[in-house]
Each structure stands twice: as C-alpha cells, then as structure tokens.
Structure 1
Amino acid sequence: MNSPLTPGIAANRLDTQTLAQNFADLHAPLNPHEAAVAADRCYFCHDAPCITACPTDIDIPLFIRQIATGTPEAAAMTIFDQNILGGMCARVCPTEDLCEQACVREMAEGKPVEIGRLQRYATDRLMDKGVMPYTRATATGKRVAVVGAGPAGLACAHRLAMLGHEVTIYDAKPKAGGLNEYGIAAYKSTDDFAAKEVAWLCSIGGITIENGKALGAALSLDGLADDFDAVFLGVGLGGVNALAVDGADKAGVADAVSFIADLRQADDLTRLPVGRNVVVIGGGMTAVDVAVQSKLLGAETVTIAYRRGREAMSASRYEQDLAASNGVKLMFNVMPKAIHGNGAAVEIELEYTATKDGRLQGTGETLRLPADQIYRAIGQTLTTDAGLTLDGGKIAVTGAGRTSRARVWAGGDCAAGGDDLTVTAVAEGRDAAMDIHATLMEGA
C-alpha cells in the first residue's frame, strides 16, 4: 500500500483483532445495577444547575430519579421530549463541560454524577424496543423542506412531523446523519448507531429523505420557497480552511474532516492507510479525534500542534487527556511555517508563538518534526449562503432561527450565534420547528 510519493503512509499496520479492540466503544454501556448505583449518587436538586447547563433543557434530576425507581423507559421519554437525538448526544456531548461540570457532586467532590452514561442507558433501553413512542398529530396540509440531514435538520423534521406537517429532507451525502454519521470519532459511536437513530427517528412517518441533493443550482432556495410552505436550513459547514504555508499542497497533507469521514465509512480498517509520523494542526475536538484515531490505526508518533496555550484549546480538558492517554503528544504555542519534502511531506517546520500587545505572533524560533501525514483541523466554513444575510461568516438568525428571508429558518453549525455542538444543533432545530409551526398555523 506504499506510494512512491508517500513512502511513510501504509495500510495494514495493525491486525483486525487489534483494530477491533482499539475502536471498541469508548465508554461501555451501563448495566441495570451500574445504572442504579450511578443514579443513586444524584441529589435530585430542586433548582438543578445541570438543567441550566444543558442546551436542550432536559430535566436531568427527573430522568435520573426515573432510572433510580426502575422506570428507564419513562426516563427516556423525559429526555426525548426535549432532545430526540438524546441517544447520540449521550455518546458525543461534552458533558464534562456542560451538565456534569455544573453537577453539585462535581463541585463538592470532584466527581460528578455520570449524567451522559445514564442518559445513554435510558435512551438505549427505549430505542432497543424499535418502537417510535411519538405519534403524528392530525395532518395540517402544510409542507416543509429541510436542507441538511444532520442533527439540526433531523430534530427540526421530527418535531414538524409530530405536529402534523409533511417534511422532505434534502441532503448532499449518500447517508443521512450529517456529522453524526460522517464527523465523529468511530470509538464514540459504534455499531452503526447514527444510521439506526435516523431510521428510528423517521419511523414517526411524514418524513421523506432525498440523498445526493445539495443546495445550489439544482436545489435552489427560490425553488424550495416556491414549492414548500417553509424552509429550514441545517446545511452545516462544508468547507475546510486552507493551510496557508509553503508546501501545503504536498502529498500527505489533507483535511481532518475527510479523514474522519473515510474512517467512519470504511468497511475494513486494516485497509485504511496511516502515516508513521502524523501531525495534526488545530486545537478542537476534530483535531483530537483525528490524532487519537491515527494512533489507534497504528501510527508510531502523533502530534497535535496548536498555536496557542492549552487553556485556549476548544477541545475540552477531558479530550486533551484522552489524546495524551493514547500516546498523542500535545504541543502548544507552535504554528506551521512550512512543509518540507520532495513531492510528498517528510517534515513539518513549526514556529514558536507568543502573544505580544494582545496579538499572537511568531517568535522567529523554529523546529522541525518528521511528518509524512499532516492533517489540518483549523476550522470549517460555510459553502453556500443562499443569498441570505451573514453574520461572521454564518447565516444571520434572530429568535428561533429566523433568517433575513421570510419563511426561511436556519440552525446548527451554519447559523450564527451558537456553539458548534450536536446538542446545540438539536436545540436549534427543535426550537425552529416550533416557530415554523406557530407561523404556519397563524389564523388556522
């Protein structure tokens, strides 16, 4: 599998059994006894700070009490009423920075209630029954187009379908799910859970998904606005920021998002090539996901190079520690200066940085690292604005996702103002659906 241009990149670095172990579920699901013990640690606070910290406003003490009293299916309904993608959020949500960080146990003892794992326990129990617990309201006769089958679009579509509207989801990818399907580390979402969740969510009825259709010339916002009563845009951020240094076009340099997508869709991980010396540029969760998975695939050295200090990384401290525990080296206050090699990457030259007069700048001091595979995880950009007003490079919204155009809403990563988190996207999709419903039913 070696290429003449990329001699350090090869497949089959590890055998099938080792890879299966490496990419097993990051957190094994709780069994009933473990769930009962974990639930018993909750104080069931009346004015619970964990609820305030949850972007979807799940009544966390209530669902934990329901688990403690032996009714996990009721707990799941408490979760799904607020977050229909609660199963995935239980797996990928940075609970250590949200609900668990706000937990009274965390503040008092340094060990929070395991809210994320308890949420997974409850939602899995209900979803494993294979039955959609929600039913559709009487048909309204209204039709809504949702562009993007990621968390925001799916949450919006489900709530609209539940309220009696007919929904058509258009998505550019071959599979629905958005980042849940293509952009999350494989060890966080195993056993094809993203696809199973989409199928379960759509089983409510009234939702049609058309794949391979992106917003653009063939699928215009004008056309959708003419054909449907309302439009919701949950298109995410499809573009990847370029690495503006000499040698960035050499073989072995790629974007992190594509790497994760390829890994998530691979049928055989032994066939996925990985370098001996991997360097990831960036400081977010995507950078961590790429770095850790490169190490799990068999890379000898993996380094995350971030231009600022540890405290500025958008990846949580938990994610940073996860990377370190898997043998990833974290380097701070370094930025790429050049990539060296004859046609293919061999080394990356990094420059040390410092903040002077409030501005980050290079110090002139450099170092070189062996690097035959370099991934840029330095942010994503909106690929289409559909003629809408923008705010900071994203679609400007007011209220519950209203854009500058009447009867067009937006939410998730493509919309301005929110965190780029799955749970935030779900909240924005849900809230937009409620606003769409209220608008469509005015005077009805």
Structure 2
Amino acid sequence: MPADTLATGIKTARLSADAYSENFADLHAPLDAHEALVAADRCYFCYDAPCTIACPTDIDIPLFIRQIATGTPEAAAQTIFEQNILGGMCARVCPTETLCEEACVREAAEGKPVLIGQLQRYATDTVMEKGVHPFERAPDTGKRIAVVGAGPAGLACAHRAAMLGHAVTVFDARSKSGGLNEFGIAAYKSTEDFAAREVEWLLQIGGIEIKHGVQLGRDVTLAGLSSDYDATFLGMGLGGVNGLGLEGSDKEGVDDAVGFIADLRQASDLGSIPIGRDVVVIGGGMTAVDAAVQAKLLGALNVTLVYRRSRERMNASVFEQDLAASKGVRIITNASPIALHGNGAVQEIEFEYTDDDLKPTGQTVRLAADQVFSAIGQTLVGDDLPDVERGKIKVTGAGQTSVAGIWAGGDCASGGDDLTVTAVAEGRDAAMDIHATLMGGAS
C-alpha cells in the first residue's frame, strides 16, 4: 500500500499547500478601523437592548459598540472582558446569528443585523494584540481552588477566582489548554493559533497554575481534591463519544468526528490529514457540520451529511447549514444509519428514511463511503462524581452540585446548551459563588 494511501480512497495530501492555505483561511476577515466605525454606526444603541438579553454572558452590547463608535476600542474591550474573559474566541465561534444578532432590532426591521460578533472581535483583538491584560489580581485571600478542565468553563472560573485573590490550580488531561476552543472547533474559525494565544494572555492575571496530563479518576480523585483545596470546580467537558451501535462500526474508515476535528486542529501540516474520496458524516449539530465542511476543504470529492430528523430539528444553525451547502456538502435529512457494508474497510453505508418521530418508513438508501464520521453526541466520563442527571452532573444555582464544596459548569453540567459562551458564563458565575461561599457571604 503506498505511503500516502491508508485505505481504498483515503489519502493524504490531496491538495496543494496553497489550496489548503486558502481553504482554511479565516472564515470572517477581521474588520479594519474604518469598517468597524461604519458597522458601529448602524447600532441604534437601544436602551432596553434585546441583543444584551440574548447574550449568555450579559455583555452590554450597545455600550461596547458606542465605545467603538467614539474611537475607544480599548474601553469596548474592557466592557466585553468584564463579562466574558474569552470574548475574543466567542467573537469567532459564538453562533451570533441565533443569539445577539438574531435579536438585533436591525435584523427584525431590515433582515441585516449589526455585525455584533465582528465588532466584538475588533475590540478584543485591539487589546490582545497589544499584549495588555485589563485586570489586576486582588490581594491573596489564602484560599486555594482546584479546577478540573482547562476548557472555556474552567478557564473562565480560574480567571475570575484568581482575579478575586484566590490561588487556582487547573488540572487538564490533555497536553494543551483550551478544551473545546483548542481541540473541538473548525480550524477556519480560529486561525493563527488563537486559542493558545488567548490562554497565554488570560494567564497574565497571575495566581493560576495549570497542570497538564492530569486526569480526574486516574491521577487525582475528587476526594483528594476536596481534601487539599478549599473548593473544586468541575469543567472537564464530556470525554466520551456515542458510538453508532451498528455491526461493522469497527471497519477501517469509520471514526468519530470529535477525534477527526481534534487531529486536524493540532496538525502542523494539513496535507498530513488523511481524507476519503466519498465521506459521510452522521449527525445534525455543529460538530457534524464542522467535520463535513473540513472534509470538503481537505479535498474529499463527495461529502454528505446525514441527519435522522428534519433540517428544522438540526442543532446546527441555519447559517452553519448554509455554510456547509456553500462548500459543496450535500445534506440528507430524515434518514438513520442501519448498516455499514464493506470487506474490512467501509465501502457503503445504508440508511433508512424516517419521519420526524424517527418512525421507519421502510425505504432505504445506500451511499458510497470510504470514510464515515460519527457526530451523534458525547457522553460524560468519570466515576465517583456528584449526582448525575440525564448524563450530566446535576447543578443548581451557580453550579452547585450535590456535594458541598464542589461546583460544576460547561458541557459536563446540566442546564447548559453546549456553547462556548454559555460555558464561560457558567464558569464565571461559579467562581463568584465560590468566592461568596469561601469568604463567608451568602452562596
């Protein structure tokens, strides 16, 4: 078998270096100063701003846009970072089209919202490119907090807790910090190693130590953390992936989309990522779309995304669906996988059409496939955790679990919507609740 061929149709280096560079360029080019002023001028600066209400981190959007409009992007960034310390990444990956921009009065009146996400990026990039950290750490409280997971929730919790004067140790199972931001989103949404640079910038607050390669349950225990620290925050996300549960799922060429995206994000050479000729992605969320689009950008000839319900029921936004279609991804809905065919390596995948209640219709279709990516959800991994409800750690209030002294937030906790911006809000709020509890205030 040739070195650049891993299975029938799966190859590396399908495209030229220039093609990879073009395909994986920034999805939205950053605004320059003039463009930012023009975009900011469209804001009505609503007093009872529906965009702010729609923002999970409660950023005062009209205020920061007015600050941009008056030529003070540094002040705008301060307004953003006070609520969302990962505002730079959220400006890149947050589904603004279904949150703040969907709620924008301009969207309702004209079908063209203010470019809130791009304006947020303009403001936050202005400050971060100067290497300036806008906050100072309060005097040391003598309290120690353990944070499990260096993803959006854990980093937001760690930063706010450190800012309040606590000493924070973050434990993460991976070799790099960032969690979903580093390993789990499409490469064209976060270019030029932004996730790592944002972590480095965040750590300038001081008082935060990160220990990589440390996994809860393997290297540390919850009981041990509770004994050694004054409080513990769990923000480790969902470590497992749901399998297809079909005979033949172990065939060569069948993988999970989460691993595919992580490998792509960490690759120094995109040409080293093997991709098939006929790729099928199963799922209807953002991960499925990210995998499908990137498979096409890597040079796959045919990419099909298949979801078991209708387009209206897909978790991926209409914008993401349209993006996939614009890149040449075919979307098939109301079809569930029933069989994988092939001798050793997958060659076809068979689906049965369903209605929106997943009732089979009896009609089937086979798709040629030398590579199949499953994106049908992730699962919580871990033993001896606080009470779990419907596959996630049960929380009340600002992330309080069933065990005193332990908080949780982000994808591993109940109540969220699996968005980076929501994870940031939950980490931040948990840190405030931890602070109130440790310092004798009402929790």
Q: CA RMSD in A?
A: 1.2
**Does residue 427 of the first structure (1) align with residue 428 of the second (2)?**
no
Using the TM superposition, give the Cα deviation of residue 354 of structure 1 relative to its aligned residue in structure 2, in angstroms.
1.4
Deviation at 1:409, TM superposition (A): 0.2
2:303 match: secondary structure: strand
- When structure 1 is superposed on structure 2, of 376-385 and 183-192 the one drifting more is 376-385
* Pairing 1:168–2:169 present: yes
Secondary structure at 2:160 match in 1: helix
Pair 300,443 (structure 1): closer, same or farther in 2 beyond 3 Å: closer
* Whole-Å separation in 1 of the counterparts to 2:155 and 2:385: 23
Which residue identity does 2:349 align to in structure 1?
Answer: I
User: What SS does the aligned partner of 1:275 have?
Assistant: coil
Task: Report the counterpart of residue 256 of structure 2 in structure 1.
Answer: 255
Preserved contact between residue 25 and residue 188 of structure 1 (Cα < 8 Å): yes
1:415 aligns with 2:413: yes
Deviation at 1:5, TM superposition (A): 7.0
d(CA) in 1 for partners of 2:80 and 2:340? 48
CA contact (8 A) 1:157 1:167 kept: yes
Asked if the contact 2:57/2:421 (under 8 Å) is kept, the reply is yes
1:380 corresponds to 2:383: no
Q: Does 1:154 align with 2:155?
A: yes
Q: What are the superposed Cα offsets for residues 312-341 of structure 1, whole Å, 9 maximum, x if unpaired?
A: 000000000000000000001011010100
Aligned to 1:65, the other structure's residue is in SS state helix
Q: Cα offset for 1:4?
A: 7.8
State the secondary structure of the residue aligned to 2:407: strand
Matches within 5 A, 1:211-250: 211-250=212-251
- Which residue type is aligned with residue 334 of structure 2? N
1:430 alignment partner AA: R
Which residue among 362, 368, 371 is the counterpart of 1:370?
A: 368
Worse overlay, 359-368 or 131-140: 359-368
After TM superposition, list the pairs within 5 Å mapping 1:43-442 onto structure 2. Answer: 43-355=44-356, 359-442=357-440
Measured in 2, the distance between the counterparts of 1:133 and 1:56 equals 18
Query: 1:30, 1:121 within 8 Å by CA — same for their partners in 2?
Result: yes
Distance in 2 between residues matched to 1:362 and 1:386, nearest whole Å = 39
Contact kept, 8 Å, 2:217 with 2:383, in 1: the verdict is no
Q: Distance in 1 between matches of 2:272 and 2:5?
A: 18
Aligned partners of 1:286 and 1:58: how far apart in 2? 26
Contact 1:6 1:345 in 2 (8 A): no
Deviation at 1:249, TM superposition (A): 1.1
Determine the C-alpha separation between the residues in 2 that align with 1:52 and 1:393.
29
Match of 1:336, SS state, is: strand
Deviation at 1:388, TM superposition (A): 1.1
Asked if structure 2 preserves the Cα contact closer than 8 Å seen for 1:5 and 1:344, the reply is: no
Aligned letter for 1:11?
T
Tell me how far 1:2 sits from its aligned partner: 6.0
Q: Is the Cα–Cα contact under 8 Å of residues 58 and 83 in structure 1 kept in the other structure?
A: yes
- Partner of 2:98, secondary structure, is coil
* 8 Å contact from structure 1 (residues 5, 343) kept in 2: no
Contact 2:385 2:393 in 1 (8 A): no
For 1:223-260, what per-residue CA distance to the aligned partner results, in whole angstroms no more than 9, with x for missing partners?
00000000000010010001012211100000000000
Kept in 2: contact 1:26–1:188 (CA 8 A): yes
- The amino acid of 1:157's aligned partner reads A
Looking at structure 2, the residues matched to 316 and 154 of structure 1 have their Cα atoms a distance apart, in angstroms, of: 26
Give me the whole-angstrom Cα distance separating, in 1, the residues matched to 2:299 and 2:162: 45
**What SS is found at the alignment partner of 1:360?**
coil
Per-residue CA deviations over 1:254-305 (Å, capped at 9, x if unaligned) read: 0000000000000111111100000000000000000000000000000000
- Normalising to structure 2: TM-score of the pair? 0.98
**TM-score, normalisation: structure 1:** 0.98
Counterpart residue identity of residue 373, structure 1: Q
SS class of match (1:77): helix
Task: Spell out, residue by residue over 1:111-151, the C-alpha distance to the aligned partner (whole angstroms, 9 max, x if none).
Answer: 00000000000000001110211001011000000000000
Cα distance between partner residues in 1 of 2:64 and 2:14: 44
**Counterpart Cα distance in 2 of 1:5 and 1:212:** 30
- The answer to whether the Cα contact below 8 Å between 2:293 and 2:327 also exists between their aligned partners in 1 is yes
Percent sequence identity is: 71
Deviation track 1:413-437 (CA, whole Å, cap 9, x = no partner) reads 0000111000000000000000000
Cα distance in 1 between the residues matched to 2:239 and 2:249: 20
Q: Post-superposition shift, 1:218?
A: 2.1
After TM superposition, the structure 1 stretch with the greater mean CA deviation from structure 2, 376-385 or 284-293, is: 376-385
* 1:7 counterpart = 2:8: yes
The C-alpha deviation readout for 1:69-124, integer Å capped at 9, x for no partner, is 00000000000000000000000000000000000000000000000000000000
